[in-house]
Amino acid sequence: MLEFQNITKIYESKKKQIVGVDNVSLTINKGDIFGIVGYSGAGKSSLLRCVNLLERPTSGKILVDGIDLTKLSGSKLRIARLKIGMIFQHFYLISQKTVGENIAFALRAAKTPKNKIPTKVTELLEMVGLTDKRDVYPGQLSGGQKQRVGIARALANNPSILLCDEATSALDPKTTLSILKLLKEINQRLGITIVLITHEMDVVKEICNRMAIMQDGRVIEEGEVYDIFAEPKEPLTKEFINSVVSFEIPNEILKEVNGQVIKILFKGDVAGEGVISDTMQRFDVKGNFLHGTIEYIQERPLGIFIMELQGETAAVNEAKHYMEQRGALVEVIEHV
Ligand SMILES: Nc1ncnc2c1ncn2[C@@H]1O[C@H](COP(=O)(O)OP(=O)(O)OP(=O)(O)O)[C@@H](O)[C@H]1O
């Protein structure tokens, strides 16, 4: 388990203090793939770098399995750090060394016995799907392949936590998906806890089970990814979600709409269409579908419908209430 307890990071520059992280407390469970989302400058990198003390927090504790890393020094800190792997947006491979040598370098740094290194390199290359690239130099690899080497290198010390600093931001969408798939496999096969920071909500939607949203150094919302997608509370969270699951209805269509426009969400396996048609039969209202989709988040369906409800106010309210009773989340969308 990884815990941030009241972490604050203040940068001192000429006569000025910049608050990078402002009193953040978060608990990341063993086996989580935890996403930290925010715009540039929100404090994501500063927070992530506090985990392995690449940045020392100004105050607060970083607990890994109950041990406060900020209290460790010397060899104890070195050993604790070996259990925390990290991958980066720009890979940071050694260009003069082959893929195999890059990984062997990390194994030597972790004091792996010399005679075990070649076999370990083979295993790691297999794990990331690069067996045939052992003797190739980083310059001859694609971005996705470079990140695979980065992942193999980060796994060299058998870490229990893997930190991913915008690990897919330099990659195209297809390569991003393949790297995310690999990270998920690693999480499931090796039980490694993954903490990733990103400004891309679709990365979170793809692999994370829990998430936090940061703004101005603070965590403004956190929870299960599914729940946050279904019921975001903060405006910024809604903005991020809209970037991947858009409910925008074109103005030309809204202009034609006279009734009340509502968004109806069905979590899990509730058969949304059935509930809606049942509602239309029970109450004196007419419904026009403007949008309907089922999103899969963490392999759980989330039914999203936008519709216009026409009828007397009392009937419309009753219809909405009935749908809520049947498990829907109903929200009125204001329009002119
Ligand atoms: N080494 C530093 N010295 C001074 N200020 C810093 C330093 N590193 C970060 N900051 C400041 O701390 C705040 C948070 O930056 P941080 O890089 O953690 O945000 P971020 O969310 O990771 O953004 P990005 O994705 O652009 O890196 C910003 O105001 C930034 O300017």
CA of 61 to the centre of ligand 1 (A): 20
Q: Has residue 252 got a pLDDT over 90?
A: no
Residue 36 binned pLDDT confidence (cut-offs 50, 70, 90)? very high
Among the listed residues 233, 211, 232, 229, the one whose alpha carbon sits nearest the alpha carbon of residue 301: 229
Among the listed residues 252, 271, 272, 234, the one whose alpha carbon sits nearest the alpha carbon of residue 262: 272
Which range of residues forms the domain containing residue 190?
A: 2-242
Among the listed residues 231, 107, 126, the one whose alpha carbon sits nearest the alpha carbon of residue 182: 126
Among the listed residues 11, 43, 52, 40, the one whose alpha carbon sits nearest the alpha carbon of residue 24: 43
Please name every residue paired with 86 in a beta bridge, in sequence order, or none if there are none: 163
Indicate the range of 68-72, 216-220, 330-334 predicted with least confidence. Answer: 330-334
How far is the first Cα of the chain from the last one, in angstroms, to the nearest whole number? 49
- Measured from the Cα of 47, ligand 1's closest atom is 18
CA of 18 to the centre of ligand 1 (A): 9
For 268-306, the pLDDT digits (tens) are 766 777 888 889 989 899 988 888 888 888 888 888 888
- Measured from the Cα of 9, ligand 1's closest atom is 12
Q: Has residue 248 got a pLDDT over 80?
A: no
Q: What percent of the chain has pLDDT over 70?
A: 99
Same domain, 57 and 135: yes
Same domain, 228 and 298: no
Minimal-distance CA residue to ligand 1 atom 16? 43
Ligand 1 binding site (Cβ under 6 Å of any ligand atom): 11, 13, 18, 20, 38, 40-46
Same domain, 36 and 131: yes
Q: Any idea what the CATH number is for the domain that residue 63 is in?
A: 3.40.50.300
Question: How far is residue 119's CA from residue 125's CA, in Å, rounded to a whole number?
Answer: 10
For 4-21, the pLDDT digits (tens) are 999 999 999 888 999 999
Cα dihedral sign, 57-58-62-66: positive
**Among candidate residues 223, 242, 261, the one where a domain is terminated:** 242
3-class state of residue 231 by DSSP: coil
Residue 270 confidence (pLDDT):
65
**Among candidate residues 242, 271, 295, the one where a domain is terminated:** 242
User: Tokens in use for 78?
Assistant: 């070195």
CA of 80 to the centre of ligand 1 (A): 25
Q: Has residue 336 got a pLDDT over 70?
A: no
What domain count does the chain have?
2
- Measured from the Cα of 217, ligand 1's closest atom is 14
Q: What is the mean pLDDT of the chain?
A: 92
Same domain, 144 and 224: yes
Q: Are 332 and 261 in contact (CB under 8 A)?
A: yes
CA of 21 to the centre of ligand 1 (A): 9
Q: What is the pTM of this model?
A: 0.90
Minimal-distance CA residue to ligand 1 atom 28? 41
Residue 334 confidence (pLDDT):
78
Same domain, 22 and 161: yes
Same domain, 94 and 26: yes
For 151-175, the pLDDT digits (tens) are 999 999 899 999 999 999 989 999 9
CA of 8 to the centre of ligand 1 (A): 13
Question: How far is residue 36's CA from residue 60's CA, in Å, rounded to a whole number?
Answer: 19
* Mean predicted confidence (pLDDT) in 110-126: 93
Same domain, 231 and 255: no
Same domain, 269 and 324: yes
Beta-strand ranges (E) seen in 135-192 are 161-165
Same domain, 158 and 227: yes
For 172-224, the pLDDT digits (tens) are 999 999 999 999 999 999 999 999 999 999 999 999 999 999 999 999 999 99
Same domain, 24 and 153: yes
Give the relative orientation of helices 173-190 and 143-155 as an angle to the nearest 10 degrees. Answer: 20
Pocket test for ligand 1, best of 16, 45, 168, 219 (most atoms within 8 A of CB): 45
Pocket test for ligand 1, best of 9, 44, 199 (most atoms within 8 A of CB): 44
Same domain, 196 and 223: yes
* Mean predicted confidence (pLDDT) in 121-143: 95
Minimal-distance CA residue to ligand 1 atom 25? 40
- Measured from the Cα of 21, ligand 1's closest atom is 14
Residue 56 binned pLDDT confidence (cut-offs 50, 70, 90)? very high
**Among candidate residues 203, 221, 242, the one where a domain is terminated:** 242
Q: Are 106 and 81 in contact (CB under 8 A)?
A: no
- Measured from the Cα of 42, ligand 1's closest atom is 21
Q: Which ipTM was obtained for this model?
A: 0.96
Number of other residues whose CB lies within 10 A of the CB of residue 274: 11
Among the listed residues 176, 332, 318, the one whose alpha carbon sits nearest the alpha carbon of residue 263: 332
Q: Any idea what the CATH number is for the domain that residue 309 is in?
A: 3.30.70.260
Same domain, 193 and 269: no
User: Tokens in use for 335?
Assistant: 């329009």
Rg of the chain on CA atoms, in Å: 24
Residue 240 confidence (pLDDT):
93
